[in-house]
Structure formats: C-alpha cells, structure tokens
C-alpha cells in the first residue's frame, strides 16, 4: 500500500501543477484510506504536503507570468489566518466529522463545476 500511496502522491502533484487544485481533497483520503492514517493526523499532514507541492507548481507559473503577486499575497495572508483559526477549531471536532465536512466541500465544488460565468483577467 505504501507504493500505491507514493504513486497517488505523484498524481496529486500533477493535479496541483496542472489545475492548481485538488490538494487536500485528494491528499486526505489517500492518507486515511490508502496509507491508514487517523483522519486528524491525515488532515494535519496534508497541510505541509499541499503547501510545499503548491509552492513548486507556483514557481513554474511565476516564471510563465501567470501569477499576480499582489492579489495572491493578499489572498494568501487571509487564507493563512483562516487556516490558523480552522486548526484551532479542529480540536472540537471528531476526525469523522472533519472528513464529512471535507466530503461536503468536495461535493459542493463538483456540483458547481462548469457553472462559472467566465474567467476574469486583471492587469
């Protein structure tokens, strides 16, 4: 199972580099259901995995001129504050409830797929 977990980790990296998403929605279930980690540990471990992987993917996009640093930095700081608050609040939730919330977010994102009215380009 460990080898399968590593193969799936490579696919997560591919997903993040290609589409900029899928990190936690893919990483947490692999840690839990393929590698056998406790849900709370899997959620915590997914944070540095997705963060480091995203940073590598962002470097390529930065070189290609696809990153608006001011917008990304502001969004990132706000998201980091939310991540800190979420981590603090997680002590009050069971691992099973956290997995259910992750599933609900994934289902909601899937249900909204293709409903965006178009892309926004800002200089």
Q: What is the mean pLDDT of residues 111-116?
A: 72
| Domain spans in the chain, listed from the N-terminal domain onward | 2-112
CA distance 36 to 68: 38
113 membership: H or E segment, kind and range: none
Residue 9's pLDDT is: 85
pLDDT at 46 over 60: yes
Across all residues in the chain, what is the average pLDDT? 86
pLDDT at 123 over 80: no
- pLDDT, one tens digit per residue, over 57-84 is 889 889 999 999 999 899 989 989 999 9
Q: What is the mean pLDDT of residues 93-117?
A: 85
């Amino acid at each position: 199972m460990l080898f399968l977990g590593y193969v799936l980790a490579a696919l997560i990296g591919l997903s993040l580099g290609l589409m900029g998403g899928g990190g936690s929605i893919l990483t947490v279930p692999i840690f839990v259901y393929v590698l056998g980690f406790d849900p709370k540990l899997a959620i915590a471990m997914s944070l540095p995995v997705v963060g480091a992987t995203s940073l590598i993917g962002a470097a390529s996009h930065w070189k290609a001129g696809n990153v608006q640093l001011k917008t990304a930095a502001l969004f990132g700081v706000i998201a980091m504050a939310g991540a800190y608050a979420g981590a603090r609040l997680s002590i009050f939730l069971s691992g099973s409830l956290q997995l259910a919330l992750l599933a609900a977010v994934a289902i909601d994102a899937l249900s909204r797929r293709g409903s965006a009215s178009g892309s926004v380009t800002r200089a």
